[in-house]
Amino acid sequence: MKKSIVMAMTALVLASCGANKQTLTTPAIEDFNYTVEQFADLQILRYRVPEIEQLSLQQQELLYYLTEAALQGRDILYDQNGKYNLAIRQVLEAIYTDPKQDKTSADFKALELYLKRVWVSNGIHHHYGGDKFVPTFSQNYFETAVKALPTEKLPLRDGETVDTLLATLVPVIFDPTVDAKRVNQEAGADLVLTSACNYYDGVTQVEAEDFYAKMKVKNDPEPISYGLNSKLVKKDGVVQEEVYKVGGLYSAALEKVVYWLEKAKAVAENDQQRGAIQKLIDFNQTGNLKTFDEYAILWVEDTASTIDFVNGFTETYGDPLGMKASWESLINFKNVEASKRTTIISDNAQWFENHSPVANEFKKEKVKGVTAKVITAAMLGGDCYPTSPIGINLPNANWIRAAHGSKSVTIENLTEAYDQASHGNGFRDEFAWSKTELDWMNTHEMQTDNLHTDLHECLGHGSGKLLPGVDADALKAYGATIEEARADLFGLYFMADPMMQKLGLLTNPDAYKAQYYSYFMNGLMTQLTRIEPGKNIEESHMRNRQLIANWVLQKSATDKAVELRVRDGKTYVVINDYKLVQKHLGELLAEIQRIKSTGDYAAAQKIVEDYAVKVDPKLHAEVLARYEKLKIAPYKGFVNPVYKASFDKNGKFTGLSIDYTEGYAEQHLRYSRDYSPLTVKH
């Protein structure tokens, strides 16, 4: 790393941290204010970080450095989500903070709402649905506001004027036909050319698929995840990669990530963790995907460390071809008490594999290295911020899972925040068929939600195998939906198994019914609150849930295991036979695993298009109308806690403090000020 960068970053640490030792405290649940604010379809929450005060001084120091590394990749994700996102964010924030603006005007308030949505989505497209936001401030207002700003506040590159900047940004913001979808999954379209994500430039879907097909080695036992950390471009007629690495694409951000990882390595808990961090540093410096696999193996085999992390190019949902990974980070530590249940699950992984309803030829003969734990999130970054998953299973490479295992986590302090924020909002009362289902959900849903996440991440993603010679990318754009359905089905099927009681994971034999009912209610009805009228379902997780619920509903046409029933003009999900539902879930799991194991693209396409995509417009309108009356936001996002480190006069770390009071806009403006290495500076 350049000496000037190291010196600057060191100065930042010493300047931003006090010299006196500070303490950590965790507010009690009843004293904690989970809700920050609500706008559009979003509710912004805070999350507690319980038991952080029990970490040792060394662990606190490690945690702090990893949280700083987590924040340095924010700009990368914005740019991956769309080539104009960074410039748009910088312009919007400049207008928002301009003291000359009339903050009471309708246009300013509309711009504020638009900016808040951009912050949630790390760009101008909805974080979940993928459609471009429609601004409700006028184009004239925007252009006038931009022209009134000092030029040093604008992202003007060499030779660029305010007029040329506006000529570029105005169509992107205001023309609904320009960059309409971040990720397009419409069958028959060129998914690359019609997607606004910034993983490709000047290439078609066929060119991209051909480029990577030529790189793959047939029957390679350790296949490299080609394309994971690069942008594919065409220059002078030649298709080529721009690799994310120090000295390559996103260098300014990755240099800072590496700086903080180096500091984390120096205070690692053990040699295994230290080696994994060093390999991640090596990968960021070289961009070598073989090094990434070496890192992933070291990381998955580190089961002794209390502090853990995800940092880098990980999930491929943002790429229409499912190959290129977005930047994300999650810093966490183990919840020892809650992890007892995940230890039980992972210790019995072979039993679950052996008793899965899938064909024996698709099962793993020996399940290796499945480790599971419940974690406490300490910092969310990149594609985990401000919206986050509640469970993760990594690494994604199938061969590493088979040979070395995988790590599964359930993020219980986030599910706690969701649960606490939902109390008394009237949602279950509106959509539950009867008091019976309502009582089950009120009593058991948080427990069964966490258990389903455990089973999904630990066993579902880690189960099954590809047959020899099957390409891991054979299902192409349908791969993500099939994989999520596979993991969900595994968890749902075993949720109702008597083994749950034998292992002590569920004490009430009917508790699983809370999960079944809430899952089918969501998959068939209530997740439609996230879809705009007239739209189909495109996001992979939503497709997965509708696929499962709708397939079982259609399968139940004669036996009535599940049905939609109308009462007093309102539609409800009714489950008449829960054990029969489990049987159907097992049948679907067997087919989904067959599709995955054999790489049956035609079957994947058919089952997804038939069951997962289309929306009943009449039912959709009804659900939206009922939901609107509740005044509930269908999506949740988070504000991170603020950490401050203390150092003595010799630069030795002396402690960490945590602050939960930072506001939503305040946090994003601070991040843009302090963690924006890729934005234009003057």
Concatenated DSSP letters of 44-62: EEE---TTGGGS-HHHHHH
The answer to whether the beta carbons of residues 133 and 126 sit under 8 Å apart is yes
Q: Enter the tokens of residue 676.
A: 């924006």
pLDDT for 522-542, tens place per residue?
Answer: 999 999 999 989 999 999 999
- Picking from 353, 641, 605, 663, the residue whose alpha carbon sits closest to that of residue 499 is 353
Q: How far apart are CA 525 and CA 210, in angstroms?
A: 39
Q: How far apart are CA 492 and CA 520, in angstroms?
A: 11
The answer to whether the beta carbons of residues 136 and 117 sit under 8 Å apart is no
* CA angle centred on 225, ends 292 and 197, rounded to 5°: 105
Taking residues 342-371, what's their average pLDDT?
93
Return all residues near 256 (Cβ < 8 A) that are at least 6 apart. Answer: 5, 9, 69, 72, 677
Taking residues 336-358, what's their average pLDDT?
95
Q: How far apart are CA 417 and CA 160, in angstroms?
A: 45
Cβ of 131: how many Cβ atoms within 10 Å?
16
The number of helices, as runs of H, and strands, as runs of E, in the chain is: 25, 15
Taking residues 448-472, what's their average pLDDT?
93
User: How large a percentage of the chain has pLDDT more than 90?
Assistant: 91
Higher pLDDT, 9 or 405: 405
Cβ of 604: how many Cβ atoms within 10 Å?
23
Q: How far apart are CA 248 and CA 550, in angstroms?
A: 46
What sections of 320-426 are H helices per DSSP? Answer: 339-347, 349-354, 398-404, 412-422
Residue type, 682: H
The SS3 assignment for 285 reads: helix
CA 107 to chain centre: 32
Q: How confident is the model at residue 423 (pLDDT cuts 50, 70, 90)?
A: confident
Q: How confident is the model at residue 25 (pLDDT cuts 50, 70, 90)?
A: confident
Taking residues 18-38, what's their average pLDDT?
79
pLDDT for 631-680, tens place per residue?
Answer: 999 999 999 999 999 999 999 999 999 999 999 999 999 999 999 999 99
- Last residue of one domain, picked from the residues 144, 174, 204: 174
Q: Enter the tokens of residue 571.
A: 């539609």
Return all residues near 266 (Cβ < 8 A) that are at least 6 apart. Answer: none
The strand pairing partners of 16, in sequence order, are none
Q: Enter the tokens of residue 425.
A: 């909002």
Cβ of 631: how many Cβ atoms within 10 Å?
9
Q: How confident is the model at residue 245 (pLDDT cuts 50, 70, 90)?
A: very high
The answer to whether the beta carbons of residues 637 and 387 sit under 8 Å apart is yes
The answer to whether the beta carbons of residues 110 and 371 sit under 8 Å apart is no
Residue holding tokens 């769309």? 82
pLDDT for 539-569, tens place per residue?
Answer: 999 999 999 999 999 999 999 999 999 999 9
Task: Kindly state whether residue 90 falls inside one of the protein's structural domains.
Answer: yes
- Picking from 520, 513, 525, the residue whose alpha carbon sits closest to that of residue 555 is 520
Cα(first)–Cα(last) distance of the chain, in Å?
Answer: 23
Cβ of 219: how many Cβ atoms within 10 Å?
10
Evaluate if residue 6 carries a pLDDT over 80: no
Whole-number average pLDDT of the chain: 94
In angstroms and rounded to an integer, the radius of gyration of the C-alpha atoms of the chain is 25
Evaluate if residue 204 carries a pLDDT over 60: yes
Cβ of 150: how many Cβ atoms within 10 Å?
9
pLDDT for 137-159, tens place per residue?
Answer: 999 999 999 999 999 999 999 99
Q: How far apart are CA 276 and CA 271, in angstroms?
A: 9
Cis peptide before 389 (omega within 30 of 0): no
Task: Kindly state whether residue 205 falls inside one of the protein's structural domains.
Answer: no
Evaluate if residue 86 carries a pLDDT over 60: yes
Task: Kindly state whether residue 17 falls inside one of the protein's structural domains.
Answer: no
Taking residues 314-328, what's their average pLDDT?
96
Task: Kindly state whether residue 230 falls inside one of the protein's structural domains.
Answer: no
Q: Enter the tokens of residue 114.
A: 């638009």
Residue type, 116: K
- pLDDT value at residue 23: 62
Task: Kindly state whether residue 281 falls inside one of the protein's structural domains.
Answer: no
Task: Kindly list the distances between the CA atom of residue 10 and the CA atoms of 14, 256, 267, 462, 600, in Å, as whole numbers in the listed order.
Answer: 6, 11, 16, 41, 53
Task: Kindly state whether residue 383 falls inside one of the protein's structural domains.
Answer: yes
Our count of domains for the chain comes to: 2
CA 419 to chain centre: 19
Owning domain of residue 369: 335-635
pLDDT for 581-638, tens place per residue?
Answer: 999 999 999 999 999 999 999 999 999 999 999 999 999 999 999 999 999 999 999 9
Evaluate if residue 1 carries a pLDDT over 90: no
The answer to whether the beta carbons of residues 409 and 392 sit under 8 Å apart is yes
The answer to whether the beta carbons of residues 74 and 675 sit under 8 Å apart is yes
Q: How far apart are CA 74 and CA 76, in angstroms?
A: 5
The strand pairing partners of 391, in sequence order, are 410
Q: How far apart are CA 285 and CA 283, in angstroms?
A: 5
Cβ of 550: how many Cβ atoms within 10 Å?
20
Q: How far apart are CA 679 and CA 405, in angstroms?
A: 39
User: How large a percentage of the chain has pLDDT more than 70?
Assistant: 97
Q: Is the sign of the CA dihedral 498, 503, 507, 513 positive or negative? A: negative
The whole model's pTM is what? Answer: 0.85
Evaluate if residue 30 carries a pLDDT over 60: yes
Return all residues near 98 (Cβ < 8 A) that are at least 6 apart. Answer: 145, 148, 149, 153
- pLDDT value at residue 615: 97
- The tally of CA atoms less than 13 A away on the side-chain side of residue 535 is 19
Taking residues 475-482, what's their average pLDDT?
95
Task: Kindly state whether residue 54 falls inside one of the protein's structural domains.
Answer: no
- Per DSSP (E only), the strands in 207-290 are 230-235, 238-243
Task: Kindly state whether residue 532 falls inside one of the protein's structural domains.
Answer: yes
Task: Kindly list the distances between the CA atom of residue 628 and the CA atoms of 418, 427, 487, 551, 573, in Å, as whole numbers in the listed order.
Answer: 19, 11, 32, 28, 19
- pLDDT value at residue 2: 36
Q: How far apart are CA 286 and CA 90, in angstroms?
A: 30
Give the CA diameter of the chain.
76
